[in-house]
């Protein structure tokens, strides 16, 4: 599964303004801001922990994605 497909599913199934994710190439945090957020986005808007949002579970299940927490 590609990151683009996952991002598209999140976009289609939620009202999220964007996502934060770790780059598989640089291993640094990246941000994807969806077009619907540009009118209301503020620089100090808080980011939510994506993996803990209840709307993400059904999306990951539908795409047969398993999340492994490597921070623990």
How buried is residue 59: exposed, middle or buried, by Cβ count under 10 Å (0-12/13-18/19+)? middle
Give domain status of residue 67, yes or no: no
Q: How many structural domains is the chain composed of?
A: 1
Mean pLDDT by 10 residues, the chain (72 residues): 81 86 83 82 69 75 74 59
Give domain status of residue 68, yes or no: no
Q: φ, ψ for residue 19 (rounded to 5)? A: -140, 150
For 38, how many CA atoms within 13 A lie in the half-sphere containing its CB? 4
pLDDT of residue 37: 83
Give domain status of residue 29, yes or no: yes
pLDDT of residue 51: 66
pLDDT of residue 48: 66
pLDDT of residue 33: 84
Give domain status of residue 18, yes or no: yes
pLDDT of residue 72: 54
């Amino acid at each position: 599964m590609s990151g683009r497909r996952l991002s598209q599913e999140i976009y289609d199934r939620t009202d999220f303004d964007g996502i934060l994710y770790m780059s598989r190439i640089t291993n640094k945090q990246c941000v994807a801001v969806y077009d619907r957020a540009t009118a209301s986005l503020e620089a100090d808007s808080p980011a939510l922990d994506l993996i803990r949002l209840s709307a993400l579970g059904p999306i990951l299940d539908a795409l047969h994605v398993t999340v492994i927490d490597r921070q623990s």
